[in-house]
Amino acid sequence: MRNLYFFLRLPLQRLLLLCCLLIQGSVAFAQEAAPSDSLTNQRLAETTQLLQQKEQQRVLDSLRKQELMQEIEQLKSSEVGKRNELEQKYLQMVTQDSLRNAERAKRIEALKVNAQGFPVAPFGDTLFMVYTKVGTATVQDRAEAINRRLVKLYNTNLYSSDSLHVYNGDYQSEVQYGEMTVMAITDIDALWFGTDRKTLAQQYLQQMQKAIAVEKEKNSLKNILLEIGLALLVLAGLFVIIFLINKLFRYLKLFIYTKRDLYFSGLKLKDYQLLDRQKQIGFVVFVLNLLRIFLLLLTFYLALPLLFSIFPQTQGWADTLISWVLSPATRIIRNIIGYLPNLFTILVIFLFTRYAVKLVHFFALEVDQAKLNISGFHRDWAMPTFNIVRFLLYVFMFIVIFPYLPGSNSPIFQGVSVFLGILFSLGSSSAISNMVAGLVITYMRPFKVGDRVKIGEIVGDVVEKNMLVTRIRTIKNEDITVPNSSVLSGHTVNYSTSSQDLGLILSTTVTIGYDVPWKQVHQLLIDAALATDGILKDKPPFVLQTSLEDFYPAYQLNAYTDQPNRQAKIYSNLHQNIQDKFNEGGVEILSPHYRAVRDGNQVTTPIDYLPTDYEAPAFRVSHPDQPKPTPQ
């Protein structure tokens, strides 16, 4: 029968050989490592020794009790004192024996908790565990010997379950089959399980008979044919499912291509074309291919445990394959459920911080829009202060949430955090200095966005001011970025701060000869300023004579404006008007060290300002020897 069984199973084993080889190596790694044999043997030996001591002590106490009872019975009725003494000694012995047995039982129970026996499992399933040794054989040797004898019984052609019986001797019971002793059961074995030796031997006999009968039934011709049929049915179902999956995805691809004009128009993010129609279709097809491969692999993976579970020899592999999926999934679900309290705590902290930030933002907007006035707190401080407070609130939130994050106590997580902190501190020293400078500049308020400023040699309008840099746009439309640390370390000139209230004073200097009255020069300069667009009329211009040089005095014109961002244009118009006013007044603006010879020379005044009948005077030259003309 066994030869027929192996002959019938050989083709199917060849069919499954490839799958077995693929997972055989992985199964070896997936099995849990057994505890150290030496440690297990040591614990079992200690427990066995205690059991032996308990049994020996019980025998000695029983003998001593019998001797005392005999002595008490032999005493005469007149020897009352002696009788009472012996009875008291007997009661004391009983009490000590009870206390000693209770302490030893407690120690034995404690050792049983940590002790691990060796299974008797000749056909895969564990029949019972062996915890004690017999003679010089260790517990492991004893369990392996029982397994070998049971396998030998199973391989016996003329095996009969009735021939397997129990023989009870004076010191041990034996499970025998003919002349072969399958297993010996001692009183120590019975003490371990808290029962008597004969009852335990009978339980082992029944378990052995049942295991051999079940294994015989599994390997019968009927079961072999049934297993082969079930395996072929599983393979056929697997092929059908694979065929249906491929057919389903072919239909989906065909549907996509036939309905592409209806369902696909590209993907846009606002005005950016992220994917056109062809790329969108290609992406969907790519996702479908990935999904098809995933379903095929999943179907194949789930079919393997079902296939392996059909045959007793591969049922362990089926359990291992299922555990590879179920164990991580169960562990993930258990961890998620266990993490829910921390998750709710994090959610509450986040919501509290979120609404605190909204509250601060509300008050910041009220101050920025001048709806709320706080003494000593300027409007332009509102939003920068809000950004700082928001940053601090979120940092505080992260500090509070950090202990609740999964893996926060992990040394790897802590090491990465320290590394990132060191990396950030070493690589951002200049950035941090700029941020600190930006914070100081914010509350110093040297300028704001839109002001005309001069920072170092740079003159222009402030177009952006953040925590790191200040951006200035010059009159040539050049955008210049200045680090905040440079702004803080240098000096800044703000032309816009007092332009609206006091007015910005624009000044220019002109030099006129001493032959022109200074009052006339003052009036011409003031008239030129008042004629210039952008010069304030309600704040009268004024002239300062800054110096009296060798050839000319210097006149400085000062005029008020509330448009500091138009300085270049206003200066240009002012200079044009000065020229016009001086020409209209007949005053020449002579350059330094200019020497004029008037006779016969054309004046420098433009022709537009001269009379229409103007003629340049003739150049007259006289000589002492030349006779003077006679008067007519």
* Total structural domains within the chain: 6
Distance between CA atoms of residues 499 and 25, nearest Å: 85
In this prediction, residue 467 carries a pLDDT of 79
273 shares a domain with 204: no
In this prediction, residue 444 carries a pLDDT of 82
Q: Is residue 623 part of a domain?
A: no
Confidence grade of residue 629 (pLDDT, cut at 50, 70, 90): low
Least confident of 83-87, 284-288, 449-453, 531-535: 83-87
Structural domain boundaries, residue 253: 222-310
Mean pLDDT of 247-258: 90
Q: Is residue 584 part of a domain?
A: yes
128 shares a domain with 213: yes
Least confident of 87-101, 242-256, 299-313, 543-557: 87-101
214 shares a domain with 228: no
In this prediction, residue 576 carries a pLDDT of 94
Tokens 């000062």, located at residue = 558
Which amino acid, one-letter code, is at 275? L
Checking if the pLDDT of 10 tops 60, the result is no
Does an H or E element contain 460, and which? strand 458-465
Indicate the SS3 state at residue 56. helix
- With contact defined as beta carbons under 8 Å apart, do 200 and 127 qualify? no
395 shares a domain with 305: no
Tokens standing for residue 316: 């362990």
Confidence grade of residue 597 (pLDDT, cut at 50, 70, 90): low
Q: Is residue 322 part of a domain?
A: no
Indicate the SS3 state at residue 119. strand
214 shares a domain with 127: yes
Q: Is residue 303 part of a domain?
A: yes
Confidence grade of residue 352 (pLDDT, cut at 50, 70, 90): very high
User: Alpha helix locations (H) across 466-593?
Assistant: 484-489, 518-530, 567-584
pLDDT, one tens digit per residue, over 469-505 is 899 999 899 999 999 888 888 888 999 888 888 899 9
Least confident of 107-116, 226-235, 350-359, 536-545: 107-116
599 shares a domain with 510: yes
Q: Is residue 259 part of a domain?
A: yes
pLDDT, one tens digit per residue, over 304-351 is 888 888 776 677 777 787 788 778 888 888 888 888 888 999 999 999
Domain boundary among 83, 114, 145: 114
Distance between CA atoms of residues 192 and 186, nearest Å: 10
368 shares a domain with 457: no
197 shares a domain with 102: no
Mean pLDDT of 85-113: 70
Least Cα distance to 472 among 461, 483, 456, 488 occurs for 461
Which amino acid, one-letter code, is at 473? R
Burial of residue 101 (number of CB atoms within 10 Å: 0-12, 13-18, 19+)? middle
- Strand 128-130 and strand 118-120: the pairing is antiparallel
Distance between CA atoms of residues 602 and 497, nearest Å: 49
User: What is the overall mean pLDDT for the chain?
Assistant: 79
In this prediction, residue 602 carries a pLDDT of 66
In this prediction, residue 303 carries a pLDDT of 87
Confidence grade of residue 558 (pLDDT, cut at 50, 70, 90): very high
Checking if the pLDDT of 382 tops 80, the result is yes
In this prediction, residue 33 carries a pLDDT of 38
- With contact defined as beta carbons under 8 Å apart, do 58 and 119 qualify? no
Tokens 């397997």, located at residue = 164
Q: For residue 174, what are the β-bridge partners?
A: 167, 184
215 shares a domain with 122: yes
Which amino acid, one-letter code, is at 595? R
Mean pLDDT of 573-583: 93
Checking if the pLDDT of 596 tops 80, the result is no
509 shares a domain with 601: yes
In this prediction, residue 2 carries a pLDDT of 40
Confidence grade of residue 519 (pLDDT, cut at 50, 70, 90): very high
Indicate the SS3 state at residue 527. helix
Cα radius of gyration (the chain): 55
DSSP conformational letter for 535: B
Confidence grade of residue 25 (pLDDT, cut at 50, 70, 90): very low
Checking if the pLDDT of 1 tops 50, the result is no
228 shares a domain with 214: no
Q: For residue 115, what are the β-bridge partners?
A: none
Q: What is the distance of C-alpha 556 from the center of its chain?
A: 68
Q: What angle do CA 83, 86, 90 make, to 5 degrees?
A: 135
Q: Is residue 630 part of a domain?
A: no
Domain boundary among 310, 334, 359: 310
In this prediction, residue 131 carries a pLDDT of 83
Confidence grade of residue 65 (pLDDT, cut at 50, 70, 90): low
Q: Is residue 469 part of a domain?
A: yes
Tokens standing for residue 546: 């800054």
Domain boundary among 310, 341, 371: 310
CATH code of the domain covering residue 587? 3.30.70.100
Whole-number percent of the chain with pLDDT over 90: 21
Distance between CA atoms of residues 608 and 422, nearest Å: 77
CATH code of the domain covering residue 487? 2.30.30.60
Q: Is residue 268 part of a domain?
A: yes
254 shares a domain with 209: no
